[in-house]
Structure 1
């Protein structure tokens, strides 16, 4: 087999790439806490990614991607598409590296995410969701400006960077005398995080949780081919997981690796958000609670020790208050 160019955007992500990304990220960011959560007598190990500087795991892939760019690419700037967490990760990395960043974001994204992205110095271009194609808008900007596209999940650096969550968690478990993880349950949108974790922890079982109505990765894996979301107007509180279709780079990593999967309802997600607040005293956003929701609802049965991704905490205060009071239907 011919060795891949590690700086080629057309390469496949690898475990070696995940390990290199982990070393880079460890130089600038401390590990996020790995917190035990007792549920029905079973300990779930929850990775608290809402405690990243941008409030989500997306900072991992963004840093790996942007820090590997050449001087010429940095001068051209970058374009990203995101409902908010990838947006903030890219904007944070771009600011640290002195790069210009333009992010295509849905107009109905949480206000907190849009405001935080702008506060990091990125230019935000809003589009209508559903109704407009965010990838087409980003492609137009790239063609006009020459900027580099940094996709939210269909990029080898992004996949490898997200996988560093698993490398960190393994080291933390080992330090506590726990051998694992034996099982990983990951929140899934386009498949960037889950593909990265698959590479990072090849011996662990991998399960995916997607929102009800936005379970295109689950359906794609079952069908053996990539399928789009059937109804992009389907309501869900999980804005971070509203990806209309996965890409081959993600699907090819996941197609022979996923042990089980489940689509979770808004009520199940709300229950998980309240549990995290009550037991861990942390704020998790709806998309960041999907994995835990699948476990506590009984839709995914875990093998101990299990790693659960709490992948983000960027939620508007008004909505989170309604979740705590169980009044989202008001």
Structure 2
């Protein structure tokens, strides 16, 4: 099993490529939670994610023959970019297989870091199968995204940095997808002269670990569904699972709405852009998914910031809805002059800002003399939303909340 010494030996190899990222004390997050919160900002890592650490350690431990043959991997995101840059820095040829419909920005970024990109298949499973074919045909080394001890050891250097920068840390909160990151960090923290709690967090739509821990063996989900695509894996790794069993104190889950709220909060209050997978530790802390004491020193590992712009739009809107700052309603009014004005007068009086209004006279669910109106509104919190709805209904409007 992975040992502290493996992580210590990885430190020098990783530091030649990856940055020592900031550990930022957040007054805002500390005030919101009552804990003493210090965010580990892997969002500032090269390629925008922690993945380069494990990739660098794996590639720098290749034999001369393996370096000459090159490496190959499959990924649609952060791992692809980490392998590409780490290989280029070590003068090793790299091929990365990505699904044919992978986002253009991620394909372009991977190529810009020096890898040859092969587009193949509909999804990650197809791409992975092709990558293994290439590995066998060209005798390249396959660099696994998480189920590899060298990769785990490289990710564990984050734990060493936390210990160096904040020896008083009590709890470290880490995302779990395949388990490479948390396995490495939990192992590294065993170098401390006291016990440090490790809490793992999964997205509820990809939560294989809790079931695996209950069964005592790796459990694979039939499907995953979450905005946290960086941890949307069907199963934890065969090598990472026993480490999680032994060294992780607790595993919790968070919903997509809770993840969206954390992303929005970090963007607005912390001026930090974090992808869904990177926000799950903060979501777990904000929603009190695990117990902690007042003033407890807690480090959420914000593992990456590579979020698709279209997804970011969706996440922000979901976050604003959750905070009561965006509201979409539907009501029915008489299809005659002045009817809409009655609704608008209420909205103006309640100081709700209108984004958009849509009419629909064609719905068969309403009388021919009526029109259906949908209104998008900017609101100022849950209390404002509640008061606005109460006022509209009190004025006789049958209001349905859409989002």
- TM-score per shorter chain, which class? 0.7 to 0.9
Q: Does 1:313 align with 2:305?
A: yes
SS at match of 2:206: coil
Match of 2:55 in 1: 62
Q: What SS is found at the alignment partner of 1:262?
A: strand
Conserved in 2, the CA contact under 8 Å of 1:112 and 1:314? Answer: no
**What SS does structure 2 have at the residue aligned with 1:200?**
helix
The correspondence for 2:273, drawn from 266, 283, 288, is 283
Cα distance change, pair 28–142 in 1 and its aligned pair in 2 (3 A):
closer
Aligned partners of 2:148 and 2:111: how far apart in 1?
A: 24
Q: 1:323 aligned to 315, 319, 340, which one?
A: 315
Alignment deviations for residues 143-198 of structure 1 (CA, whole Å, 9 cap, x no partner): 11110011000111100000100100111114xxxx12x21110110000010011
* Matching residue of 1:5: none
Q: Max radius of gyration: which structure?
A: 2
Contact 2:209 2:251 in 1 (8 A): no
The structure 1 residue matched to 2:231, chosen from 241, 250, 253, is: 241
**Does residue 293 in structure 1 map to residue 287 in structure 2?**
no
Instruction: State the Cα distance separating 1:133 from its structure 2 match.
Output: 4.3
Ranked by relative contact order (alpha carbons within 8 Å, sequence separation 6 or more), the top structure is 1
Give the aligned length: 312
Matched, 1:48 2:41: yes
Partner in structure 1 of residue 366 of structure 2:
none
Cα distance in 2, alignment partners of residues 58 and 189 from structure 1: 12
1:217-243 CA-to-partner distances (Å, cap 9, x unmatched) read: 222112210010232xx4311111122
Identify the match of residue 22 of structure 1 among 11, 15, 35: 11
The answer for the alignment partner of 1:186 in structure 2 is 174
Q: Which runs of 5+ in 2 are unaligned?
A: 322-401
SS of equivalent residue, structure 2 residue 225:
coil
Gaps of 5+ in 1: 1-11
Please report the TM-score for the alignment, with normalisation by the length of structure 1. 0.88
Once residues 299 and 288 of structure 2 are traced to their aligned partners in structure 1, the CA distance between those partners, rounded to angstroms, is: 16
TM-score by length of 2: 0.73
Report the equivalent of 2:106: 113
RMSD (CA atoms) = 2.1
CA contact (8 A) 2:261 2:283 kept: yes
Query: What secondary structure does 1:294 align onto?
Result: helix
**Residues of 2 paired with 1:13 and 1:284: CA distance?**
29
1:198 aligns with 2:186: yes
Return the match for 1:272 from 258, 262, 268.
Answer: 262
> Which piece of structure 1 moves more, 30-39 or 87-96?
30-39
Q: In 1, are the aligned partners of 2:33 and 2:285 still within 8 Å (CA)?
A: no
**SS across alignment from 2:110:** helix
For 1:131 and 1:162, locate their aligned partners in 2 and report how far apart those are by CA, in whole Å. 22
